[in-house]
Structure 1
Amino acid sequence: MIRPVSDPIGLEVRWDRLAAATDEAASTMLRTAFSTIIRESNDYTVVLMDREGRTMAESRAGIPAFAALMSSLTALVLERFPAEEWQDGDCVITNDPWIATGHLPDIAMITPVFHRGRLVAYAGTVAHSPDIGGTPSLSATELISEGILIPPLRLFRAGRVDEGVKHLLLANVRLADQVWGDLEAQAAAHAVCRRRAQEFLADFDEPDFEEFAAQVHSVTDAAMRAAVRELPDGVYRSTVDADGVEGRPTHIACAVTVRGDEVGIDYTGSSPQVPFSTNSTLNYTRAYSMYPLKILLDSSTRTNWGSYLAVRVTAPPGTIVNPTFPAPVVARHLTGHLLSCAVYQALAPVLPDRVIADSGGAPALRVRFAGVDDTGRPFSLMLFANAGMGASKETDGLSTTAFPTNSGSGSIEALEAASPLRFLRKELRAGSGGRGRRRGGLGQDIEVRNPTSRPVQMVLLGDREQHPALGLAGGEPGATAQTVLDSGERVPLKSVSQLPPGSSVVISFAGGGGFGKPEEREPEFLVADEIAGYTVRGPERGPVTVRPARADGPEEVGR
């Protein structure tokens, strides 16, 4: 039901203030976090929710898709801990992949906000922990091998740490100081949210957020439904293939159904779940289907719970996009990030001016280095770096830019300060963007050296080794990703290996797909690309012959 907004300017002022509160809380988390994953790579989210757990405002940095599932996450937490059981100063955490954000390293935190003695809201965060125990390997066949599973538990009770929960958690991780430091950083962000939310209600003389939440949810719901109504009714299909694990490719089948002001995204026909860590839980599948659709159709309106009421995402249980417990899921992004490609390929026939070609960073390539330096101090470092985005009809793809995630790369200086590793170079990868009337964004080459006298473990979680980012409308695929040791040996992108003492490795990130026929690119753009060093002549960029995604025309459905 659309609620009338009698004072849209006043509503915007209040909404902007609440969003600023989440941004301030996010800054607090970044400044107090111990690990580079949060403070450098922005792998987190911060939200404020109403008393029902529905998001009202979200931080503008961090991972937007995480914010998209905070409402469903909180609803499940409230089933375990009903509203009447909460006290001021309570804090519940969980990393259950079927409740939270899809894999164990992400720890979600929920805290209540009280005003004048009444529970009026919740603050929520998710942050990627630097360590969650377990054995980092894609060969895990069940969840328990991937780390400690935390069901919804109270970490704080009325402002006091539950020492039993704390000790149990820290006894199961290797980097206890960093893990606890990051959890305290999340708690600090919650304190900012709580204080600013209370000030908001006091300044506007409101008893709670009920009226405000109803209005902002109505605004976002109406905006999304208006955007959906502009699409012709029909069923639009695509398929996307991924490298898979151990030579077993996986398949994503996507059907986008538009009916009036609602959209259904269904993944029937996708591969069965696999005994490897690339399964994507349904909540993660929903997040990485809804968020790309939201920015495609309604990029100008802020997001909250109302933004996704018009979208329904379904997938058969037991598939790679809806696995059953206890499937391994630590590398769920290798499937989940591809869903943006599937949705955009499906809608390309009806939104050719707005979709982009596949991005080389969908899915993202992550590299974890771990070991012991020459002083005997253990270290663990997750390298977050970005590939090239896909091109659109009007513009070249952005180089080394994350999509559909929003994680940052962080500074080389900070990464070197946190480990003994040395970064010898970090540069654009010439020729990696797919050719087209508009060129795909470039990936990058990063060379990392192990200067210690001990081997360093290197865990690669990537794809796009055999299946590059596809182009659209005649655009060519981008270059595939690869990792090569200084010995010339190629390291598979899903592997656990050793970087020997004194050795280096070059990690090459994939390029984005091109848009439009290459022969239609304007001569001045070709010259500019060559002058800038974006193109290369001579050696092939890597294998690019793949079965293309299928984008069928609409099948008529009734309104």
Structure 2
Amino acid sequence: MRRRMGTDHHNRTGFGMKTDPITLELMRNRWTGIAEEMCAALIRTSYSTNIKDRRDCSAAIVQPSGEILAQAESGVPLHLGVMPGVVRSILEAYPVSAMRPGDVYITNLPYPEGPGHLPDVSLVSAIFHEQRPVALAASTAHHVDMGGFAPGSMPFGVTEIYQEGLQIPPLPIFKAGRLDEEIYRLINQNVRTQYEVRGDLMAQFACAQIGQQRVSELMSRESPDEVVRYMDEIQDYAERRMRAGIRSLPDGAYAFEDYLDDDGVTDTPVKIAVTLTISGDELRADFSGCSDQVLGPLNARLPAAASCISYVCKAVIDPDLPACAGAYRPLDIFAPEGSILQATYPAAIGNANILTDQRVVDVLMGALYHAAPDRVCAACSGEMNLVNIGGIDPGTGDYYNYVETYAGGQGAMSDLDGEDGVHTHLTNTRNAPVEIMERTYPLRVERYGLIPDTEGPGRRRGGCGMMRELKCLGERTIITLGSDRRKYTPWGLEGGGNATGAHCYVIDTEGREKEIPTKTHTELYRNEILRIETPGGGGWGDPAEREAERVEEDVRNGLVSPERAGEHYRCAKDRGS
């Protein structure tokens, strides 16, 4: 399936008639500020640790045509990239002309296009000024449970989306500002963490209300017609900048491929391959070389792949580019129907966000290395390292569900070391504070820190991965893990070395340690310990060229052992380290 990213309504080459560049910039920042305030309201009023502490949510302002106008840059890049598909799905079922003040629409359905997996619940509502719809408010938040086979609704051991959880097609969840209790009762009956889900849903409603309030204030201060006109000018301005950025790259076709270790059901590696074609001021991403869709829950839909290409182009070509639909009009994307990136219903899809999409970003970076080597990084950890722990809280008797993605190493760049233990690429979430975890869940953090010697060696080294040990305090705990890069470790560039991969272990009450698959659904019992080790990031350049003072600093900080320094870095050998 092929998709042109963005709708080319204008195709202008300069500022429109009577367009003031200063006013344009002010308007652009006002819209971005509204989106940021919407996202902040969602975070402040949410109930679950995953949103209020980890900030696994996003918000955007959308034009009535369905084009994204402004996004909260504090949001999750993957959410924001699939938001256009979410809005299209809502508008196909409920056109703007049928919307009324206070109506809010909900969906979590990835098919045919929508959020990346079922826990990502999206709300869309029209924003009115003087009874006229002038914009849409949209938000996506990762809810801690949407029912299904296992707590957290992202299980392995499943082959269909039916097993993953409750599927919500576009529906009006709020009518005239009031929650539709009939629809909500259906949702409530199917989720384990009912208190958190309702609270987070109301937080998304508050997010929409802030959007309505701030846009109304803007329309009251300025000429409504001018505000609407500058919406289109912002889109055209972003398009011009993206086209200029693409023109700065050499024309050509650039290919790259990588593999996921397996799909969690079979041992067959999953190929992710792309050919990027740059021609003048346009860029096309062709994913024809990817594996067919798989049995396990690593399948994705084209909006997720579009999210990856839009993120990479912004990061590599113009990091300060306005994050709106106009910026992506010069981009074209293709993936065959029935492939891993354009799976057909009802293929399982729950962990594509966590694993597949991150690997797509690494592959895109690898392809762009041939066109812009100084602007890309080596492979990052290549995954979000999902840890999902659920069960009955022995203190309350209620269901709980802890979900978190663990940081890994960032890939090095030509002039920068990779960051240690950091979320990269499509995730922009925080780590859950230990004190919050231990207060909220029947879990205890036994160990937490960076893992020495996990970096990809290089003139600029990759970042180190991290380790966390969790002791389960409940009688029976259900665990879902989603990691990768055990076999196909994060690669380096320009002679840089590969980083180490992911590993997961269970330590029983006798202290016996057992390695378990990185993609698994299993159980732990009271006082057993789960240890997660995340991959590092690939290195850049010949390790022998790394400056002695940098190697010595890494050894002093405990990030590189003297033995590893002597093995990989010439300066250490020369000094007899």
TM-score range, shorter chain: over 0.9
Paired with 1:403 and 1:311, the residues of 2 have a C-alpha distance of 23
Paired with 2:317 and 2:390, the residues of 1 have a C-alpha distance of 41
Superposition deviation, residue 69 in structure 1: 2.6
User: What residue in structure 1 maps to residue 127 of structure 2?
Assistant: 113
User: What residue in structure 2 maps to residue 407 of structure 1?
Assistant: 429
Paired with 2:27 and 2:437, the residues of 1 have a C-alpha distance of 39
Paired with 1:288 and 1:78, the residues of 2 have a C-alpha distance of 23
2:384 is the counterpart of 1:368: no
Counterpart amino acid of residue 515 in structure 1: W
2:553 is the counterpart of 1:528: yes
2:77 is the counterpart of 1:64: yes
Counterpart amino acid of residue 419 in structure 1: Y
**TM-score, normalization by structure 1:** 0.94
User: What residue in structure 2 maps to residue 556 of structure 1?
Assistant: none
Paired with 1:14 and 1:32, the residues of 2 have a C-alpha distance of 27
Within-5 A mapping of 1:296-307: 296-307=316-327
Superposition deviation, residue 206 in structure 1: 1.7
Paired with 1:277 and 1:537, the residues of 2 have a C-alpha distance of 41
Paired with 1:357 and 1:102, the residues of 2 have a C-alpha distance of 25
Equivalent residues of 1:46, 1:67 under 8 A apart: yes
Equivalent residues of 1:254, 1:266 under 8 A apart: yes
TM-superposition CA deviations, 1:180-228 (whole Å, max 9, x none): 1100000001100110011011111224743111111011111111000
Q: Secondary structure at the match of 2:291?
A: coil
Equivalent residues of 1:278, 1:330 under 8 A apart: yes
User: What residue in structure 2 maps to residue 475 of structure 1?
Assistant: 496
Consecutive aligned runs of 4 or more in structure 1 exceeding 6 Å deviation: none
Choose the corresponding residue for 1:424, options 409, 433, 446: 446
Counterpart amino acid of residue 533 in structure 1: G
Superposition deviation, residue 537 in structure 1: 5.0
User: What residue in structure 1 maps to residue 416 of structure 2?
Assistant: 395
Equivalent residues of 1:293, 1:343 under 8 A apart: no
Superposition deviation, residue 363 in structure 1: 1.5
User: What residue in structure 1 maps to residue 287 of structure 2?
Assistant: 267
Paired with 1:422 and 1:124, the residues of 2 have a C-alpha distance of 36
C-alpha RMSD of the superposition:
1.5
Paired with 1:192 and 1:157, the residues of 2 have a C-alpha distance of 17
2:126 is the counterpart of 1:126: no
User: What residue in structure 2 maps to residue 457 of structure 1?
Assistant: 478
Paired with 1:410 and 1:421, the residues of 2 have a C-alpha distance of 13
Equivalent residues of 1:393, 1:515 under 8 A apart: yes
Q: Secondary structure at the match of 1:45?
A: strand
Counterpart amino acid of residue 442 in structure 2: P
Choose the corresponding residue for 1:192, options 189, 205, 210: 210
2:60 is the counterpart of 1:47: yes
TM-superposition CA deviations, 1:168-187 (whole Å, max 9, x none): 11111111111111000000
CA spacing shift, 1:504–1:112, aligned 2, 3 Å: same
Paired with 1:42 and 1:290, the residues of 2 have a C-alpha distance of 21
Paired with 2:373 and 2:531, the residues of 1 have a C-alpha distance of 36
Pick which of 106-115 and 373-382 moved more: 373-382
User: What residue in structure 2 maps to residue 95 of structure 1?
Assistant: 108
2:35 is the counterpart of 1:22: yes
Count of residue correspondences: 538
2:502 is the counterpart of 1:501: no
Counterpart amino acid of residue 4 in structure 1: F
Q: Secondary structure at the match of 1:337?
A: helix
Q: Secondary structure at the match of 1:222?
A: helix
Within-5 A mapping of 1:142-153: 142-153=160-171
2:370 is the counterpart of 1:349: yes
2:466 is the counterpart of 1:444: yes
Counterpart amino acid of residue 471 in structure 1: G
Choose the corresponding residue for 1:434, options 445, 456, 481: 456
Q: Secondary structure at the match of 1:326?
A: coil
Paired with 1:383 and 1:15, the residues of 2 have a C-alpha distance of 33
TM-superposition CA deviations, 1:461-511 (whole Å, max 9, x none): 111121111111111111111112222101111011122211212211110
Q: Secondary structure at the match of 2:410?
A: coil
Q: Secondary structure at the match of 1:490?
A: strand
Superposition deviation, residue 340 in structure 1: 1.0
Q: Secondary structure at the match of 1:398?
A: coil
Equivalent residues of 1:49, 1:57 under 8 A apart: yes
TM-superposition CA deviations, 1:273-325 (whole Å, max 9, x none): 01110111111111112211221111022211111111111100101111011
Choose the corresponding residue for 2:361, options 340, 355, 358: 340
Equivalent residues of 1:25, 1:46 under 8 A apart: yes
Pick which of 10-19 and 206-215 moved more: 206-215
User: What residue in structure 1 maps to residue 537 of structure 2?
Assistant: 512
TM-superposition CA deviations, 1:130-176 (whole Å, max 9, x none): 10000133221111110011000000112222222111111111111
- The answer for unaligned runs of 5 or more in structure 2 is 1-10, 566-577
2:178 is the counterpart of 1:164: no
Superposition deviation, residue 538 in structure 1: 5.4
CA spacing shift, 1:125–1:516, aligned 2, 3 Å: same
Choose the corresponding residue for 2:239, options 212, 215, 221: 221
Identity among equivalent positions (%) equals 31
Paired with 1:70 and 1:460, the residues of 2 have a C-alpha distance of 26
Counterpart amino acid of residue 77 in structure 1: I
User: What residue in structure 2 maps to residue 254 of structure 1?
Assistant: 274
Paired with 1:520 and 1:484, the residues of 2 have a C-alpha distance of 36
**TM-score, normalization by structure 2:** 0.91
Equivalent residues of 1:120, 1:209 under 8 A apart: no
Counterpart amino acid of residue 456 in structure 1: T
Paired with 1:102 and 1:492, the residues of 2 have a C-alpha distance of 24
TM-superposition CA deviations, 1:331-377 (whole Å, max 9, x none): 012111111111111121221111100001x2210100111232323
